[in-house]
Each structure stands twice: as C-alpha cells, then as structure tokens.
Structure 1
Amino acid sequence: MRASAVKTHQAQSLTQVALRQFRKHPLAVWGLRILLVLYTFALFAGFFTPYDPNYYELYPPKGHHPPTRIHFVDPETGRLSRPFVYATKRSIDPISLQPRYEEDPSQGKFYLRFFVRTPEQPYTILRVFRSDLRLFGVDPPGRIFLMGTDNFGRDLYSRLVYGGQVSLTIGILSALVSFVLGLVLGGIAGYFSGRPFALSLPLQAWRGRGLLLGPLSWAVWGGLAFGALYLAWAYYTLTGLGVLQILAALAALWFAYFLARTLPFRPLLLDPDNLIMRLVEIIAAIPTLFLLISLRAVFPTNVDPLFTFYLVVGLLGFIGWGGLARVVRGIVLSVREMDYVQAARALGASDARIIARHVLPATASYIIVSLSLTIPGFILGESGLSFLGLGVTEPYTSWGLLLQSAQQGGFASFVDRPWVLWPGFFIFVSIMAWNFVGDGLRDAFDPRRRQ
C-alpha cells in the first residue's frame, strides 16, 4: 500500500505538484478567486452594468447622485416585496451649495428587473459580439445607481466596471511586452556573453564576403560620425558658444577620430552582453515615474484615445523589462554550460534552436512567478499616468482616470460624496489579489517550501 502511494506521488508532473501546493495557500486561492471575478466583470462589462459608461441625462441632472437605496419591504403593507427603488428629486443645500437628492414616492415604485433589453444602449463583447442584454435595470424614468454618479451624472458603477477593462488589461499586456523583451534580450545577453561580433570589417578583410559588408559597415559608422558632428554644429548655432557646446563638439570630434583610427586597421567588436546590460543600467538609473512622464510627453496629448491605450501599454512594457533581463541573463549563463546544452551544440543545433528549446525553458518557473508579481506594478503605473492626465483619455475610462475626477472635487470628495473614491478601493483589491497569487506561485514552484 505504501509502495503504491509512493509510486503515485512520484508519477506526478511538476504542474500537478505545483497546483497541489498552490491549493495549500489560502490567501493565494482567495486572490485567484477575486481576480476571476474582476476579470469576468471586465470581460462582460456591458452585461453586468445597467448603463453605458458615458450615458447621462441633461434634465433632470443627476450629478453627484448618492448610491440608490434599494427597498425590499413595501412601506404601505410592511411586507417583503420585489426589490424596487424610488425616483429622486434634486435640490441645492443652502449652506454647502452641494446638490441634495431626496426620494420621491409620489412618482411610484420602479421595480428591479433582471435580464432587460436596452436597444438604445447596445454594447459589444471583445469588439466582436453585439448585444443589448443587461443583467439588471429599472424602467424609465426610474434610475438605479449602485455606487452613485460622477459630476456629469454618469453611473459610477458602470464606469468602474468598464474602467476595469482598461486597467486590468493594460496590466497584463504591459507585462507581456516587458517579458518578451526581457526574455529575448536577457537570453541573448547570457548566451552570447563573451562572444563579441564584428560591427565593421578592416580593409584587409574586404576580400570575398567582405566586399559588400566592409563598405556598408564603413558607411554606417561614417554616417553616425557625420551625424554627431552635425548635431554638435546645430547645437552651437542654436544656443551659441558655451561650455556645453565645446564639450559636445569635443565628444563628436573624438568619436570621428576614433573611427578614423580604427576602421581601416581592425574590426569594431561588440559584446551583446555589455550592450544590453549597459542599456538596462541606463534605464534603471532614471526614476520610473520621471521616465514615464518624459516618454509620454514626446507624444501629443490630443492623439486618438485608442492609440493612447496602446501607447501606455508600450511605455510601461519598455521601462519594465530590465529587471527580468538581468535575472534571465544570470540563469542562462549557468544553463548554457549544462551537459545537455553542450550535447545539443555538438550535434549541430543552431544557436536560435538551443536558446528556444533548451535554455529559455529553464527559466519557466521564475517567469511564471515574476509575471504575477509584475502585473500589479503596471496597474499602478497606468493608474498613476491616468491620474496625472497622461494616460487613457475619454471616451475610454480607467480606475486612474476616475480617481483624477474624484481628486478634482477636492476635500468635498471625502466629506460630501465619498462614493467617488471607489476606484481606489478596486485598485487596492486587484493589486493585493495579484500579490497573493504571486506569493502562492512562488511557494508552489520552490521545492524548499513544499509541504
């Protein structure tokens, strides 16, 4: 009996063992459940929300409407009833000058209905399937605002669910971009470390295959030298003569002199490891938020909102790949000396095949864990950019953009209308859930932590 149990335990794959260990982490399991709920709501946002995120009424105005109270007891009979809401009437508080809403039973009861059709407010799922079926709603002129409204009278619950589409999707897409860059560049840096390649060919190597590559490499480097001299001259003509202009001219002249002494006599060698790691150090030396704002400022703020979405994804992914590249480089440096890698090289396998089939798979467990721990940072990065007005723009919405709208209300957002702070709660919950899942995956893939 014991031998059979041992045999069954040994027959389990790494995925089965990791899944069994993951289930023993209660916080990770709950974090995964929360993420499943959040992403399900984001995927089917149109179905789970009663209104379009940009829908509002000019009259009667509903700006800063508090959450609608749902009644389950009929006040006339005192008995349980179908859930219903009352219409509200608006007035202005004479002291705070803030809008005040009171229930108006004289307009009747508006019963809560499920699986309602809203042909005037259709939506799409994944921009492919078109529908107008919504989970719940009330008959007009009644309105139901589960989390109140914003300053324009738009349903905050609907905007929160649609905002999750942007914030949660940007977190995953940016992580994928950064991980592709980190894996590829880190793998190249580790595998080709100590194996520099020639960027130019000297005169004596122009024979044969160098007859084309030699002049071409000289033309490229000569163009770079000429461009450096031209930039130094343009800098001087634009700003006049000064210390910085002299330093720029000396640097350009030294670069041209170095090329003139090197190109005819010996090749220019470049180690991919040095190039990639120096680039990582440059990116890491610049504060992340400052780098994000600087890169975003290169593009105009009035570009197409959809382009802004992809722009934010690219910017977040571009600045987040350095840490992964460092770790992948270290793993690849050790894996490339393993016997099975040396055997593949001896059998004539190409470098690309060895990297793709033998080296990078060795980083899989670390990649899975690191991916789950990186996504929360990108969600925060998008929220910060949108909060500063440099991220997603209308008509799209995100949790950071909703927080920016709440911040514009000043101290009144905390005192008179605290429901506008719901986006901060959802940012907190999603980040904590991803961190719990990351901790669980780290314990599941770490043999020293298995129980």
Structure 2
Amino acid sequence: MTTATPSKNYDGVAVARTPLQMALRRFRRNRVGVISFWVLVVMYLTALFAPFLSPYSITTQHEEFPYVRPSGIHVIYKGQLHAPYIFQSTTKRDPVTFKKMSVLDTENPVPVKLFVRGEDYRFLGLFRSNLHLFGVDQGYYFPLGTDKFGRDLLSRMLVGGQVSLTVGVVGILISFTIGIVLGGISGYFGGFIDNFIQRVIEVLLSFPRLPILLALSTIIPAKWPSTWVYLGIVAVLAFIGWAALARVVRGQVISARNIDYVQAARGLGASDLRVILRHIMPNLSSFLIVTATLALPGYILGESGLSFLGLGIKEPMASWGLLLNDARTDDAFKTYPWLLLPGLMIVISVLAFNFMGDALRDAADTQSR
C-alpha cells in the first residue's frame, strides 16, 4: 500500500504527491546522481549509434599505420581561421632503431567533414548504409590513434561499448529473474522448499568469486562464434550473480508477507500468484531498481576482467576489456598511452553507475528529508 504526501502548489492549494513523485524529487536534488544519469544516457546512445559514429570498421587494418598517435583537429592555419582540418600521418623508419614511426605532414592540411561516405555497416541492425558522422575524403583520420594492427581505436571503443555496456543489462535481466523467482518462492512458502533453496544458495556463495568465474569461463569452447561467446560470458556472470540477490529477496518477502493487507488478501482467498504480484512485489520495486543499478558495475568489471585475461570476448568482437589487453605491457604503457583510453571508459561507466545507484538509494529512502 502506498500513501500520498500533501504539498502545496503555486496557488497555495494542497496537492498530493505520490511516493514515486517524492522519490523523483529527491533524486533530482542530487546533482552528482543526475549528472551520472545523463553520462550513462550519452554512453548508451553512443553505443547504440556506434557504427554511424565510427570512422571505420573495427576489423579494418591499416597496416602502414601501426601505433599512430591521436590526430588533433586544427582550426588555425598559417595565422588565419580555417575550417576544421588535420595533418595526415606518414610512416618513416627511425634512423637509429629502424622502427616504423608516424610523422605528421604539416604542409598539406586535410579538411574534416561531416556526413561522409565510407565503409558499409548495418544501421541499428535494420538496413545497410555507408554514411558516417565525420571523416576525410582522402587519406585517413584516426582521432584516438591506432593499435598495433593499424585499427582505429575510436571505432573499436565505440563498438566495444556495445558489448561492455549491454553485458550488464542482459546479465541483470537473467540473474534478477532467477534471484527474484527463487528468493520469492523461498520466502513466501517456507518449509522444505525454503531449506532446499537456501542450502543451494549457501553452496554457491561458499565458492570464491574470481576462481569460479575463471573456471566457468574456460568451459566456453574457443571455436564458438563471437555471438555465442558473448552469450556464454553473460550466462557465466548471471550464474554467479543471482544467489546473493535471492537471499535478500527472501528476507524482504518474509517481511512483506506479514503485513496486514497481505494477510487480508490471503484471508479473502486471493491466489498466491496474485498476492505475490499485486501486493508483495510492488513493495520490492524500489529495492530491486537500486540493487540492479548498483550491481551493473560488477558485470562490467567482470566482463572486462575476463576479456583482459583472454578468457572473455574474442576477436573479431571488441570490448573495453579486450582493448585494454593491448596496453598490458610496459612498452605499450609508456610508449602508446592512448591504448589506455578503454580503461578510462570502464572507470567512467562504473563510477556513473555507482553514483547514480547511491542517488537512487537515497531517493528511495522514505525517511530522508
């Protein structure tokens, strides 16, 4: 049962606010939480339109441009205001070490244009297109540099965000479905069912998280297609993520089933399914939303960790953890620092989810003022 809280509008007339409206009001007052929310919105929209925003395909290799530094955009040329342009990178041999090195051609500026034609892709998975947001008509443009194979890092980061950001969402849907169903059954019916489910949960929680995560990930066959590997990683993360939630849901259901209106509904002959869906689950909605928001960073870090160790997402797919794997050596860390940018995206997304989750938790607290 929910009650409305009276308040006054501009005319001084009392207006009833629902608990949801009160929670949204408290959330909007948390600036860090609101900023984190919009950061995540931008990140997910960027991931959704990644092929359109990416200058190149994630598999396109520019063998003549390995480890090219990020190309900056200039608007001043020879002391005069100029349309946005870049300097093309050319490769030369170092006279001492004879290694290939990229050198900027500062004599021939190349304009950067919007809505250029490039490589084909499937837009939103519906139809094919070759229109990209920006690019150059001649030569190449690498906004964030390239990796050892000459692949554009920006394109790989944008497409990799589709994997890293959706792993958490899909994993939450699976693990929360299992945890809510089993935890709800355990708490509502009790008895033998409760004891059996709780013993299974205790067995799962007794295993250390990282070793079991690594063990389960090695079960995924190396010959599986990229899509299957993605689903396998999600299944592994969901398998070890539902037990703790189920235990908490059990406690919440045990507390909620003793509330007067729940007892009244059962006394009037309402079915167990109706009591659970109509009277118990609404009381858990705010808790589940907050818990899901705070649990999402764990899935992002789990996938990134497995991919970084070579046990997660495989080529030709891309994820932030897999891209960060290229910067694991001291030489890459010191010489090619732009390869660490995928790690920055992991940090930003995890912090944004945590800040937003804390703001939602405070907003859902009915005792807060």
The TM-score normalised by the length of structure 2 is 0.94
SS at match of 2:87: strand
Q: Distance in 1 between matches of 2:96 and 2:361?
A: 55
**CA shift digits 1:328-368 (9 cap, x unpaired):** 10111011122222222222222222222222221111001
> Partner of 1:322 in structure 2?
243
> Partner of 2:37 in structure 1?
32
> Partner of 1:90 in structure 2?
91
1:22-421 aligned at under 5 Å gives the runs 22-58=27-63, 61-75=64-78, 78-94=79-95, 98-105=99-106, 108-118=108-118, 121-140=119-138, 142-194=139-191, 271-407=192-328, 410-421=329-340
Indicate how the Cα distance of structure 1 residues 131 and 282 shifts in structure 2: closer, same or farther if over 3 A, else same: same
Larger relative strand fraction: 2
Q: Which has the larger radius of gyration?
A: 1
SS at match of 1:122: strand
Alpha-carbon contact 1:301-1:390 (below 8 Å) kept: no
Gaps of 5+ in 1: 195-270
Alpha-carbon contact 1:64-1:99 (below 8 Å) kept: no
Matched residue type, 1:139: D
- Which deviates further from its counterpart, 126-135 or 180-189? 126-135
Q: Distance in 1 between matches of 2:45 and 2:224?
A: 30
Alpha-carbon contact 1:191-1:333 (below 8 Å) kept: yes
Q: Distance in 2 between matches of 1:428 and 1:180?
A: 27
Q: Distance in 2 between matches of 1:109 and 1:294?
A: 52
Q: Distance in 1 between matches of 2:88 and 2:121?
A: 26
**CA shift digits 1:85-111 (9 cap, x unpaired):** 2222212335566532111245x3311
In the TM superposition, what is the alpha-carbon distance from 1:4 to its structure 2 partner?
4.5
Q: Distance in 2 between matches of 1:335 and 1:287?
A: 31
Q: CA RMSD in A?
A: 1.9
Matched residue type, 1:286: F
**CA shift digits 1:163-213 (9 cap, x unpaired):** 00000000111111111111111100100112xxxxxxxxxxxxxxxxxxx
SS at match of 1:317: helix
Matched residue type, 2:166: T
Alpha-carbon contact 1:113-1:136 (below 8 Å) kept: yes
Alpha-carbon contact 2:220-2:232 (below 8 Å) kept: no
Q: Distance in 1 between matches of 2:354 and 2:9?
A: 34
Matched residue type, 1:414: F
Q: Distance in 2 between matches of 1:434 and 1:3?
A: 31
In the TM superposition, what is the alpha-carbon distance from 1:315 to its structure 2 partner?
1.1
In the TM superposition, what is the alpha-carbon distance from 1:11 to its structure 2 partner?
1.0
Gaps of 5+ in 2: 1-5
2:357 counterpart of 1:443? no
Indicate how the Cα distance of structure 1 residues 449 and 82 shifts in structure 2: closer, same or farther if over 3 A, else same: same
Matched residue type, 1:135: L
User: Percent identity of the aligned residues?
Assistant: 45
